[in-house]
Amino acid sequence: MTREEALALDRADPLASRRDLFELEEGLIYLDGNSLGALPKAVKGRLAEAVEAEWGRGLIRSWNDANWIDLPSRVGARIAALIGAAPDEVIAADSTSVNLFKLAAGAMALRPGRKVILSEPGNFPTDLYILQGLGQFMPGIELRLVEPGGLPDALDDSVALLLLTHAHYKTGQLHDMKALTTWAHEVGALALWDLSHSAGALEVDLNGANADLAVGCGYKYLNGGPGAPAFAFVARRHQADFQSPLTGWMGHAAPFAFSDDYVPGQGMLRALCGTPSVLGLTALEAALTAFDGVAMSALRAKSRALGDLFLDLVEERCPGLGVACPRDSAKRGSQVSLTHPNGYPIVQALIARGVVGDFRAPDVLRFGLTPLYARYVDVWDAVEHLVQVMAREEWREPRFNQVAAVT
């Protein structure tokens, strides 16, 4: 494909106008929306208003007058529409890690007598670390890590919970949510899905897959900003029995009754713990308006096409690079993952040229494709820069070989 042809694809792209909803510096090729989504223009004004009017003037009255108290449910309902859940099945709160803890602990309580949590080696570290920490507090829990191909066989009646990340953070490999959830249910286990790399990027159908529980990030494809609140989903059929291990006052049935004894709140409210992060939720709520009127099927179609174009061009023009993501777009999330032993300095050299991706140890170059704002020509230009970085061996420069704290 030529650059002209890529530009023609952008002209024909039904989502092209969405890019104008984001602050993106002219000339920057931003392919890291899977780490931190770009700033939606709507967030700037809305945050300024929330700070000046709601906090600045309204002060404590804004909990009622500006409805701050409903933000977790309101934002949760918006996210629900993107992940195939009902509005009352999702709440926005805390971080993904904290939500993983709450939901995994809650799942163990829903399956008394069962001790095994099944996951895969190489899952995102926080998912594994949280399970390891949970195991230390709930004696007897066994964390069983099995390569994806062995998961169906590893599901037996000792398994309480299957916890997987839908789109793998490093390889972009997609799990078959429906099949794995069905297999988990056949042995009486629950399925918890980490949607951090799928919410807002792919069609997710939690209820279509009959999923039990899910969590995900607000700052990646949902564009809620650095450290944005995350979300948690508990299928309606489990909500009455779901117990959070973090029984904070905001999850109480009547927080302002100030009673001594904890009584869980209705539905997803019981998944709350402490006071919600009002400014973070306000930013996320405004960011989610970028999805208004967008069909997830259209987003997914564009994401697949962008990934295919990227990989076609890399295979044609960058012979020294390996491919770590599935070639089949149906099995790939919204990212392209390449491999090279000098991956880190190559990514740094690209960033210096204005092509922002990231690096995941030991050798993965990651490029997130956010269909709301990534263009076909961005992909074409990114590969052109990659070709030049490799041909000129720019990555050998010492400044690109100094490893920063965040890669």
Ligand X SMILES: Cc1ncc(COP(=O)(O)O)c(C=O)c1O
**196 forms part of the interface with ligand X (CB under 6 A):** yes
**104 forms part of the interface with ligand X (CB under 6 A):** no
The residues in 18-77 that bind ligand X, with binding defined as CB under 6 A, are none
**95 forms part of the interface with ligand X (CB under 6 A):** yes
52 contact partners, CB below 8 Å, separation of at least 6 = none
| Eight-class DSSP state of 187 | T
Question: Judging by beta carbons within 10 Å of its beta carbon (0-12, 13-18, 19+), is residue 158 exposed, middle or buried?
Answer: middle
**198 forms part of the interface with ligand X (CB under 6 A):** no
Of 69-77, 106-114, 123-131, 373-381, the window that binds ligand X (rule: CB under 6 A) is: 123-131
Cα–Cα separations (whole angstroms), residue 278 to 70, 224, 266: 10, 12, 21
Q: Check if the beta carbon of residue 325 is closer than 8 Å to that of residue 334.
A: no
To the nearest whole angstrom, how small is the minimum distance from the Cβ of residue 121 to ligand X? 14
Query: Looking at 108, 180, 217, 347, which residue binds ligand X (CB under 6 A)?
Result: 217
Question: Judging by beta carbons within 10 Å of its beta carbon (0-12, 13-18, 19+), is residue 232 exposed, middle or buried?
Answer: buried
Residue 163, classed as helix, strand or coil, is: strand
**CA-based nearest residue to 126, from 159, 82, 89, 163:** 163
Active site residue 219: yes
Q: Does the annotation place 319 within a ligand binding site?
A: no
**348 forms part of the interface with ligand X (CB under 6 A):** no
Active site residue 262: no
Q: Does the annotation place 400 within a ligand binding site?
A: no
Q: Does the annotation place 282 within a ligand binding site?
A: no
By beta-carbon proximity to ligand X, the closer residue of 195 and 346 is 195
Active site residue 220: yes
**97 forms part of the interface with ligand X (CB under 6 A):** yes
Query: Looking at 29, 82, 83, 96, which residue binds ligand X (CB under 6 A)?
Result: 96
Q: Does the annotation place 182 within a ligand binding site?
A: no
Distance in angstroms (rounded) separating the CA atoms of residues 192 and 181: 9
To the nearest whole angstrom, how small is the minimum distance from the Cβ of residue 38 to ligand X? 16
Among 220, 302, 304, 360, the active-site one is 220
Active site residue 102: no
Cα–Cα separations (whole angstroms), residue 80 to 37, 75, 214: 19, 9, 11
Q: Tell me how many helices (H) and strands (E) the chain has.
A: 13, 15
CB atoms within 10 A of CB 182: 14
Q: Does the annotation place 219 within a ligand binding site?
A: yes
Query: Looking at 22, 30, 101, 169, which residue binds ligand X (CB under 6 A)?
Result: 169
CB atoms within 10 A of CB 51: 12
Q: Does the annotation place 126 within a ligand binding site?
A: yes
Among 124, 221, 291, 373, the active-site one is 124
Q: Check if the beta carbon of residue 285 is closer than 8 Å to that of residue 81.
A: no
To the nearest whole angstrom, how small is the minimum distance from the Cβ of residue 346 to ligand X? 21
Q: Give the count of residues interacting with ligand X (CB under 6 A).
A: 13
Q: Does the annotation place 153 within a ligand binding site?
A: no
By beta-carbon proximity to ligand X, the closer residue of 126 and 329 is 126
Residue 61, classed as helix, strand or coil, is: helix
Residue positions annotated with a catalytic role: 124, 194, 219-220, 366
Which residues are documented as binding site for pyridoxal 5'-phosphate? 96-97, 124-127, 165, 194, 197, 219, 249, 275
Binding site for ligand X (CB under 6 A): 95-97, 124, 126-127, 165, 169, 194, 196-197, 217, 230
